[in-house]
Structure 1
Amino acid sequence: MSAQAEIRPPLPPFTHESAIAKVRAAEDGWNSREPERVALAYTVDSAWRNRAEFVNGRADIVAFLQRKWQKELDYRLIKELWAHDGNRIAVRFAYEWHDDSGNWYRSYGNENWEFDEAGLMRRRFACINDAPIKTADRKFHWPLGRRPDAHPGLSELGL
């Protein structure tokens, strides 16, 4: 077990079902838009590459997410399991947001995750591209917060 007292189920090695649960838990956390809450899912020394930015440790994660959600307004995210093996999960995702001028975007990406034995993410590598969209082309229409269970996922939306 890791030196941390925190345990974040489901734990590796992941089954198909537990990997899906881990992905949904991550989606729910990010949709909370609460940086301190999100950071608790990562090891204290977690290492990220997010686009061209390198983030190390929970304090950096909190600062990064605060900046992110000050820029990316009305953020709504959907994640989908792509693959898993042992303590690693690959995810594809899309999120919609607008800037302070009201311009909407859909950001598409892939993440590779590695977890410690306590189920905390210790490494995250994210590649993301932003596509401008018209307000009428938005597909993520739930109230801010957790995506409702009945709302379609990426595959169902054709994304």
Structure 2
Amino acid sequence: MERIASFTVDHTKLRPGMYLSRRDGTVVTYDLRFTVPNTGDLLSNAQLHSAEHLFATLLRNSAQKDAVIYFGPMGCQTGFYLLVDGARLDDAGVIALMQEVCRQGAAYTGEMPGKSAVECGNYRNLDLALAKELCAAYGEIIRDWSVEKLQYQG
């Protein structure tokens, strides 16, 4: 059985940042790594869930919304995956989009998106303050990111 692409990355050398995980035709997967793997510094379920709601809402309301395919958490609790249509948005555009979404998320003043029993299967787990903190923290991590930094190191 073939190993999936994410299992070929040396997680002992992986640091927080934004990485190009794979290209499948025009679908491009980005590894949005928030914490260092295998250190116990995991994102809590409330952090993952809350950030997922805010990031996904901001991405799907951005000027590049038609390029956004999926945004969701990693099972290992160290970050998220972002899938985009690479025919609509190039690597530099994705970096700029994530930087802008982080700024918007950190400054967000509205209601927590999807925080009702009708909209979410675990709405009581959502915390806007946690989502805003993660937006601000990840925004700092990728503030000076470039296309050259998208490659995994090691």
Q: Normalising to structure 1: TM-score of the pair?
A: 0.28
**Structure with a larger share of its residues in strand:** 1
**Structure with a larger share of its residues in helix:** 2
Q: Normalising to structure 2: TM-score of the pair?
A: 0.29
